[in-house]
Copies of this chain bind each other. A is one copy, B any other.
Amino acid sequence: MHDLVAELYPICRSITGNGVRQTLGILERHIPVATFEVPSGTSVYDWTVPKEWNIRDAYVKSSRGERVIDFHECNLHVLNYSTPVRAKLTLEELRPHLFSAPEHPAWIPYRTSYYKEAWGFCLSQDQLSRLDEDEYEVCIDSELTDGHLTYGECFLPGETADEILVSCHVCHPSLCNDNLSGISVAVFLAKELLTRERRYSYRFLFIPGTIGAIAWLARNEAAAARIRHGLVLTCVGDAGGFHYKKSRRGDAEIDRAVAHVLRHQNDPYEIQEFSPYGYDERQFCSPGFDLPVGCLMRSVWGQFPQYHTSADDLSFVLPAALAASLHTCLDVVDVLEHNRTYRNTNPYCEPALGRRGLYRTTGGPGIGDENLARLWVLNLADGRHTLLDIADRAGMNFMLIHRVASELTEHGLLQDAAARGAPVS
């Protein structure tokens, strides 16, 4: 996964333009990705798809002809979505167009101006303080033209039309944790799910932040209505512990599934309440949709110093962290896929498990986890408790509960509650 991050790293992405197309092209080598183009000027709810932005070059040259700021060195140097400019300016005239982050003097900050036409350069504080009084040649060779907003979808059909959504933004340029880590984990999650039987259908979105999510929702209301669970993936490659931000509902199955998986991992983690600021869960959880979509992160955006700076680079994202994030996503998928409701076919008293080889035969103190898990499942399989309800009440791992439920079903002691009428009692 780190290789994919590295391959995507140099590309200058934005909310529109060839950077996104190039990115989707690389993803297509791993999984089937359908690319969609939405024309500039299209109305999407309260918004309008903006002009397409592309950039070839940008620099600030000293009077000695030296590129003191050079887009080709790092694409963060240009204020993302800068309008084209060619001018000669004194340092004084240039200053209002320069952005630095004095608290981290060696890092280039990342800034954007999507919806207000502006131009500018981002540079490290060190670079800024080295700039002398001079006449500078300023060039931003960009264009803002009627074009398209581009996004990608990878759809994996399952047994049912009910969908699980995995969404990540693809609009950040050379930033690894905030952007590329989510993309990479999503791609490898899709790759793994391609090989599996799926109860749910899965829809992976690779979309520009905010406007991309809004455009997708505006054009896919029917698909949105089929979303049963969803995850926004971002900042999942750094060394920090997991942070899961709950959906607006707060008690959705996805919220409980992620909390269950993290609780049983024995690593520090934190569950955060929903707030309407953050990533595209803002749109999925807007009141008209109110979809059960949470956001899985390791370190939280804005709370690690490297966030939105050039220090969010390839060294900040660790292969082991990416792998564990993928593993966590798969565990969550396992819970969602297997979280069914069963009915005990012998609801009056315990069934005779020993006779079926499902219980120890010599009485003594204590029983093993498997035996106890069987008793929990049989006790709560009344058509009203899901396996996740049972696992949480028993304080046991979902997969153990699922395994004994399958075994009890094979022995005829359990049946899928959906198969027959009313609850047991």
Contact = CB atoms under 8 A, between A and B. Distances in A.
Interface of A: 44-48, 80, 109, 111-116, 118, 210, 213-214, 217-218, 248, 275-277, 282-283, 285-290, 301-302, 307-308, 344, 346-352, 354-355, 361-367, 372, 375-376, 378-382, 394, 424-425
Given A111-B363, A113-B362, A365-B307, A378 B276 contact: yes
A158 to B, nearest CB: 26
A379 B286 CA distance: 6
Contacts of A248: 379
Nearest to A210: B350
B290 A46 contact: no
A113 B363 contact: yes
Contact of A372 (B277, B352, B376): B277
Q: Is the interface of A mostly helix, strand, loop or mixed?
A: loop
Given A287-B424, A347-B286, A362-B113, A277 B354 contact: no
A421 to B, nearest CB: 15
A253 to B, nearest CB: 18
Contact of A349 (B214, B275, B347, B378): B214
Given A282-B375, A367-B277, A361 B113 contact: yes
A288 B362 contact: no
A161 B48 CA distance: 46
Contact of A362 (B111, B282, B382): B111
29 contacts: A44-B349, A45-B349, A46-B350, A46-B351, A80-B363, A111-B364, A112-B362, A112-B363, A113-B363, A115-B355, A115-B361, A116-B354, A116-B361, A217-B348, A276-B376, A277-B372, A277-B375, A282-B375, A282-B379, A285-B379, A286-B350, A287-B380, A287-B425, A288-B344, A288-B346, A288-B425, A289-B349, A290-B382, A302-B365
Contact of A276 (B46, B116, B379): B379
Contacts of A348: 45, 217-218, 286, 288-289
A382 B287 contact: yes
A221 to B, nearest CB: 8
A265 to B, nearest CB: 23
B213 A349 contact: yes
Contacts of A116: 354, 361-362
A156 to B, nearest CB: 25
A276 B113 contact: no
Given A47-B352, A217-B349, A287-B344, A302 B362 contact: no
